[in-house]
A = this chain, B = another copy of it.
């Protein structure tokens, strides 16, 4: 039995140490981890994957901790992957903080792991997708992918999820602007957290308006951003859940636990809808297609990098182009020929 076979077998047997080790393999892009994820794939597809995003201070970690605790009370097993694409800290530090505050400390059925851009050697989207697979194959019922902020990285990460919840703090004009800029399309549920604060009603109202503006067609202020609106006409957002699911809005006070039950109920409604409408399968197809394309891109980028190094590095090629001894198309042709006619084919990893 190879190391990987042993690890897979232990993970499928429910050993938390094996799960933690598998995610370390993923983070470190350790040799053999592709085989590991390949093996795990056939055991996946049973978990509900929930993405949680929102700006710093929206209360994500408190909400996630409450969700985990409530799921545990109901007998469900839970895994949490917390991603901070911008954090300069390795997993350890963030994890330390969270373990102190988690209400589920000591309960190993809530498996918590944080990953940051610097903590992972490969792409963060790939690492997230693979960590979710490990948790899914392990048998976790609910997998929560939590990510900070609302940039393109976060959008890519949160698309790993079946259901995406976006946290919005009350009276956060800035955040509503940010939502307009891209997050709106991926939200299945808006969570107005800290709903006991002033401005919560206003925020709910603003969100309702945004949702209705969207379902009624182009937004009224399309005059100013008309050109931008046109870009999107042909674009299909993988997370955009078709005509049939209108983003829900729930109000919570994560600290006290108010509204958590309603939030989990809404999450379940969305899971049911994914199942009944066939949208779940459609989204899974899109996710797999995107994943395949991303993996191929990453693999090829690695090959190109290596072949460029073998040819003296990109700098040497740029020198030739600057000196008019070569040109970018000729260089690209050379590199392509190198990829297609490798000297040896044993080092594809």
Contact = CB atoms under 8 A, between A and B. Distances in A.
B227 A332 contact: no
Interface in A310-349: 314-315, 317-318, 321-322, 324, 327-333, 335-337, 339-342, 345, 348
A332 B330 CA distance: 27
B336 A292 contact: no
Nearest to A291: B328
Contacts of A289: 314-315, 318
A148 interface: yes
A299 interface: yes
A337 B297 CA distance: 13
Contacts of A218: none
Nearest to A336: B299
Contact of A228 (B151, B230, B295): B151
Nearest to A295: B332
Given A41-B324, A284-B322, A292-B328, A86 B335 contact: no
A174 B224 CA distance: 10
A41 to B, nearest CB: 3
Interface string A53-68: 0011000000000000
A172 to B, nearest CB: 10
Nearest to A84: B227
Copies of this chain per assembly = 2
Interface string A226-260: 11101101000000000000000000000000000
Interface in A62-100: 84-88
A169 to B, nearest CB: 11
Contact of A328 (B226, B295, B304): B295
B314 A293 contact: yes
A189 interface: no
Contacts of A45: 324
Contacts of A197: none
A273 interface: no
Contacts of A324: 41-42, 45
List the 6 shortest-distance A-B pairs measured between CB atoms, nearest first. A41-B327, A295-B332, A86-B231, A86-B227, A42-B324, A291-B328
Contact count band on A: 35 or more
Interface in A36-57: 37-38, 41-42, 45, 55-56
A34 interface: yes
A86 B228 contact: yes
A29 to B, nearest CB: 12
A151 B232 CA distance: 13
A296 interface: yes
Interface in A276-304: 281, 284-285, 288-289, 291-293, 295-297, 299-301, 303-304
A149 interface: yes
A330 to B, nearest CB: 6
A342 B336 CA distance: 12
A303 B41 CA distance: 27
Contacts of A285: 315, 318, 322
A55 B45 CA distance: 45
A246 B41 CA distance: 53
Given A285-B322, A322-B284, A340-B340, A332 B224 contact: no
A296 B336 contact: yes
Contacts of A149: 227-228
